[in-house]
Amino acid sequence: MARLSSRDDLEALRAQIVERLDPERKAVAVCAGTGCVAYGSYKLTDAFRAEVERLGLDVEVRATGCHGFCERGPLVVVYPQKIFYQRVQPKDVVEILEKTVGEGEVLERLLYEDPVSGEKYTYEEDVPFYKHQQRLILGNNGRIDPTSLEDYLSIGGYSALAKAMFDMGADAVLEEVLAAKLRGRGGGGFEAGWKWKGCKEAPGQPKYVICNADEGDPGAFMDRSILEGNPHSVIEGMIIGAFTIGSSHGYVYVRNEYPLAVERLGIALQSAREAGLLGEDILGSGFSFDIRINKGGGAFVCGESTALMLSIEGEVGEPRAKHIHTVEAGVWDKPTNLNNVETWANVPHIVNRGSGWFSSIGTENSKGTKIFSLVGKVNNTGLVEVPMGITLREIVEKIGGGIPGGGTFKAVQTGGPSGGCLPESMLDLAVDFDELTKAGSMMGSGGMIVMDQNTCMVDVAKYFLDFLRFESCGKCVTCREGLKRLWEIVDRITRGEGREGDLELIEELSECVADASLCALGGTAPNPVLSTLRHFRAEYEAHIRDHKCPAKVCKELITFTIDAEKCTGCRVCAKKCPTGAITGEKKKLHVIDQTKCIKCRVCYESCPTKWAAVVVE
Amino acid sequence: MAQVVTYTIMGAEHEAERGTSLLAELRRHGYEVPSLCFNENLSPYGACRLCLVEVKKGRRQKLTTSCNYPVQDGIEVFLDTERVQRNRRMVLELLLAQAPKAPRELRALADRYGVTDIRFPLNGDEECILCGLCSRTCRELVGVNALTFSGRGDRKHMGTPYAEGSEVCILCGACVHVCPVSCIDLSESGGNRRIRRWDRELPMLVDEFGVPTMTTAQAEYMARRTGMPVETFGTLPAQRRSEK
């Protein structure tokens, strides 16, 4: 692409691209997000391309960013009708091209069927999973090829940058972002505008702009999908931020475990550079700014801003006290403005559509939308983008489609490992930064794990404590030793060795870990154990006093036996038992040898439901 | 361009250079604040969490370690509040469980703050409390940088890179000197000095009376740093013998 040296160049190029676009053009968009790639979407794309060539069709095959509905991948949308197919396999390709693309016929078997109502949906926007969302940030993922700058330009890309530089000027952009009350999507929820202002006014040069893409929460993948699906939106946000603040250097700190995000971001940076949208004298404005990718080694704590900055410097990633803010002294002690991927991706929208529009979405103190990765025991897992203020119930039931297999909802864990578990009674909570914090959880970066009746809340607390005791940087005694001790106590409880006084000790120690640790990791680490204790105390007590795990999860507290009256001697369980603990001849009662049983549940799950002879107590 | 600020400690007004470590200031004024990971000559680290104080700045009052708190204008500092004591007692309990063999310094602190009962399982033989004073001394004062933390979380430990015998350690013993729980062993015998914890052993020079002074590596390092001849710091025992 020729280098663009003015705003007119940019708009002329955009006009050219848009003119070439034919809204009636036949196209097949295949999701190439990580989830769908794992389901085989690359093979599917190849199959589409090969068939299109073989049949000599005039059909565009586009590999797009993540559509969000990962549960049903690989996903395919057929244009121009926008017919939505799910779980598509290479064997479906010929039929799709011949019937749907060729004749407009809808293939029933590939449509999404609501697991609750049984209703089938033809178009993406009608599918309940999408219908209740508001996809400002994620919406374009499915429309564009993330490796194509032209695609991004075709949907208005970099027009916000041009507007910011040529119409508004740095001060007006800052006013707009301040007025929008955009809060940091990485977890802290600090207002981005105030951060920008602080950095802009701080003395010292150069100033740095950082995009935090060190997404480390188990089960969270929203930043990954934005970077993989629409990297230019993040880059544009960062350039606007840098222009506003007066920064010439930017970093994207991204996990090395996100190879696809790193690759696509690299392609996007290179093409933006070649087009004159990044680097020296951007669009002839006189403003210069470039971005480097810094790959993180995978330490969870490096998502903490000060640890991240030390890691960029090549030091051990340990948080430091923020008595002097990073906007004054960040990377190499220079003024540094750090925002999360999703925060940056919001910026072009705010510049283009104005703070009034942005702050019309959401609640009083939490504006705009938020992306959550909805996972766990819920029918429709995937990425959901919703306006702030939506209730948990709407997310879990309407978008998530409820609990699979006729199960019942028990809790939803929000905010990642430092978030909390909220019970059924709190499902009508309006989801925003402040309400979640008040409820003992937090927004975090947007993880949302749904749990059903088969989840033991003590076990859940143990899982998160285990994660955190390994992922704490280990600097503060309270966090390093405190989390280890909390884990030990909870681990003991799950093994039936809980003692009177344990729960009080958990509370006392948790308070100290949260109060006396240096950074937010320690400050929030007790949330999972405290919130489960607060809402599910009886479950802890059952473990300690009765040595029972009510959810029948904790291995030391359950036994598997075979009901003599129900067992038909079919040998299914005996064949599947990995330790050979089940004996019994065909058509005779089977018995589980408790000394050999490792409580893997295979017998319980494999016993035909009509007999249900394996009993867990 | 030092800026002098005014602040209060327990209601008493004081002046200090803006940005000085609050703990250093507290000690300068004679307040007793416990700490195991602070040394005025090193950058503050904030690991041991013992030097907790409450600081009120504007309307917000928060708990913070004083070592890495830079003194600012108008702050109000409160020592030994109920919140400080409660947290400090728990920190000591955690430290004692982590390093049950830690010597008297830690025990003395525990006694002073009334920590008698340890409700957590004791950690076997470990003595190190991961305060980081040894590596900061080696890096910032000695300039050798032989030690580093590795690992994270409850597997974090202090040592030489890759847990292999250090090739750069000059066995100056500064780390031994600053260790608050005396867990770095230094011994001298047969004309050699060794630190087992760092898996390092080096020959020593002797003075004119044949008394060991320092390791050859240390003398060479000091010669390089000062521009003085190595002989200033001692000679090899073998050379002394041949002179006779």
Q: What is the CATH number of the domain that holds B31?
A: 3.10.20.740
- Looking at the fold, whether B14 and B75 belong to one and the same domain comes out as yes
Domain span including residue B219: 133-243
Chain A hits for B48, Cβ within 8 Å? 477
CA distance A299 to chain B (A): 9
Are A376 and A143 contacting, i.e. CB atoms less than 8 angstroms apart? no
Mean pLDDT of A479-484: 96
Please identify, among B83, B118, B148, the residue that sits at the C-terminal boundary of a domain: B83
CB-based contact A477 B94, cutoff 8 Å: yes
- Looking at the fold, whether B153 and B222 belong to one and the same domain comes out as yes
Mean pLDDT of A350-366: 95
Percent of chain A clearing pLDDT 70 (strictly above): 100
* pLDDT, tens digit (0-9, with 9 covering 90-100), for B161-219: 988 888 899 999 999 999 998 899 999 998 999 999 999 999 999 988 888 999 999 99
Task: Choose among B48, B130, B149: nearest Cβ to A316.
Answer: B149
Domain total for chain B?
Answer: 2
| B239 band by pLDDT with thresholds 50, 70 and 90 | low
Chain B hits for A470, Cβ within 8 Å? 152-155
Give pTM, 2 decimals.
0.92
CA distance B90 to chain A (A): 7
Chain A hits for B52, Cβ within 8 Å? 516
- Looking at the fold, whether B239 and B138 belong to one and the same domain comes out as yes
Does residue B114 fall inside a structural domain? no
- Looking at the fold, whether B154 and B236 belong to one and the same domain comes out as yes
- In whole angstroms, what is the distance from residue B157 CA to residue B162 CA? 11
- Residue A71: per-residue pLDDT: 87
Does residue B226 fall inside a structural domain? yes
CB-based contact A518 B65, cutoff 8 Å: yes
A contact test, residue of B62, B94, B136 with most A CBs within 10 A: B94
Does residue B161 fall inside a structural domain? yes
CB-based contact A476 B52, cutoff 8 Å: no
Q: Is the pLDDT of residue A372 over 70?
A: yes
B contact test, residue of A315, A466, A475 with most B CBs within 10 A: A475
Q: Is the pLDDT of residue A493 over 50?
A: yes
- Residue B101: per-residue pLDDT: 80
Q: Is the pLDDT of residue A137 over 50?
A: yes
- Residue B238: per-residue pLDDT: 65
Q: Mean pLDDT over all residues of chain A?
A: 94
Count, residues in chain A: 617
Q: Is the pLDDT of residue A232 over 70?
A: yes
Which residues 6+ apart lie within 8 Å of A558 measured at CB?
A: A549, A552, A599, A616, A617
* pLDDT, tens digit (0-9, with 9 covering 90-100), for A528-564: 999 999 999 999 999 999 999 999 999 999 999 999 9
Does residue B106 fall inside a structural domain? no
B contact test, residue of A467, A472, A481 with most B CBs within 10 A: A481
- Looking at the fold, whether B226 and B137 belong to one and the same domain comes out as yes
Nearest CA in chain A to B98: A481
- Looking at the fold, whether B170 and B236 belong to one and the same domain comes out as yes
A contact residues 428-487, partner B, Cβ 8 Å cutoff: 468-478, 480-485
Coil, strand, or helix at residue A68?
coil
CB-based contact A508 B87, cutoff 8 Å: no
CA distance B219 to chain A (A): 30
CA A239, distance to chain mean position in Å, is 24
CA distance B186 to chain A (A): 26
Helix, strand, coil distribution of chain B in percent, nearest 5:
30, 25, 45
CA distance B36 to chain A (A): 11
A contact test, residue of B3, B49, B69 with most A CBs within 10 A: B49
Q: How many CB atoms lie within 10 A of CB A95?
A: 15
Q: How many CB atoms lie within 10 A of CB A498?
A: 22
| Pure H helices in chain B | 22-28, 82-98, 104-112, 133-136, 174-178, 216-226, 237-243
Does residue B115 fall inside a structural domain? no
Mean pLDDT of A218-223: 88
CA distance A499 to chain B (A): 12
- Looking at the fold, whether B60 and B139 belong to one and the same domain comes out as no
- Residue A417: per-residue pLDDT: 87
Does residue B171 fall inside a structural domain? yes
The DSSP letter of residue A476 is S
CA distance B158 to chain A (A): 11
* pLDDT, tens digit (0-9, with 9 covering 90-100), for A66-93: 999 988 989 999 999 999 999 999 999 9
Are A310 and A296 contacting, i.e. CB atoms less than 8 angstroms apart? no
Q: Is the pLDDT of residue B2 over 80?
A: no
Does residue B44 fall inside a structural domain? yes
Are A384 and A372 contacting, i.e. CB atoms less than 8 angstroms apart? yes
Phi, psi of A299 (to 5 degrees): -85, 125
Nearest CA in chain B to A521: B153
Phi, psi of A187 (to 5 degrees): 140, -40
Task: Choose among B48, B95, B156: nearest Cβ to A474.
Answer: B156
- Residue A424: per-residue pLDDT: 94
CA distance A34 to chain B (A): 29
- Looking at the fold, whether B206 and B142 belong to one and the same domain comes out as yes
Coil, strand, or helix at residue A492?
helix
Report all structural domains of chain A as residue ranges with CATH numbers, in order of start. Answer: 23-130 (3.40.30.10), 149-359 (3.40.50.11540), 369-452 (3.10.20.600), 457-545 (1.20.1440.230), 559-616 (3.30.70.20)
| B240 band by pLDDT with thresholds 50, 70 and 90 | low
Please identify, among B55, B83, B111, the residue that sits at the C-terminal boundary of a domain: B83
- Looking at the fold, whether B138 and B239 belong to one and the same domain comes out as yes
CB-based contact B64 A321, cutoff 8 Å: yes
Task: Choose among A323, A505, A515: nearest Cβ to B87.
Answer: A515
Task: Choose among B63, B148, B151: nearest Cβ to A516.
Answer: B63
- Residue B244: per-residue pLDDT: 43
As beta bridge partners, residue A450 has: A376, A412
Nearest CA in chain B to A324: B70
* pLDDT, tens digit (0-9, with 9 covering 90-100), for A165-195: 999 999 999 999 999 999 999 888 999 999 9
Q: Are strands A591-592 and A582-583 parallel, antiparallel or unpaired?
A: antiparallel
CA A37, distance to chain mean position in Å, is 16
Instruction: Write out the two tokens for A147.
Output: 């490796």
- Looking at the fold, whether B221 and B142 belong to one and the same domain comes out as yes
Please identify, among B83, B114, B142, the residue that sits at the C-terminal boundary of a domain: B83
| Pure H helices in A27-169 | 34-38, 41-55, 93-95, 103, 128-131, 149-154, 159-162
Q: Is the pLDDT of residue B102 over 80?
A: no
- Looking at the fold, whether B137 and B239 belong to one and the same domain comes out as yes
Those residues of chain B whose CB sits closer than 8 Å to some CB in chain A are 45-49, 52, 63-65, 68-70, 72, 83, 86-87, 90-91, 94-95, 97-98, 119-121, 129-130, 132, 148-149, 151-156
Say if A500 is an interface residue toward chain B (CB within 8 Å).
no
Does residue B68 fall inside a structural domain? yes
End-to-end CA distance of chain A, in Å? Answer: 67
Q: Which of A150-159, A434-443, A484-493 has the lowest mean pLDDT?
A: A434-443
CB-based contact B95 A508, cutoff 8 Å: no
Chain A hits for B98, Cβ within 8 Å? 477, 481
Predicted ipTM of the assembly: 0.93
Say if A598 is an interface residue toward chain B (CB within 8 Å).
no
Q: How many CB atoms lie within 10 A of CB A350?
A: 25
Which residues 6+ apart lie within 8 Å of A543 measured at CB?
A: A458, A493, A494, A496, A498, A549, A554, A557
Task: Choose among B64, B90, B152: nearest Cβ to A474.
Answer: B152
Q: Which of A211-220, A361-370, B74-83 has the lowest mean pLDDT?
A: A211-220
- Looking at the fold, whether B239 and B174 belong to one and the same domain comes out as yes
CB-based contact B94 A485, cutoff 8 Å: yes
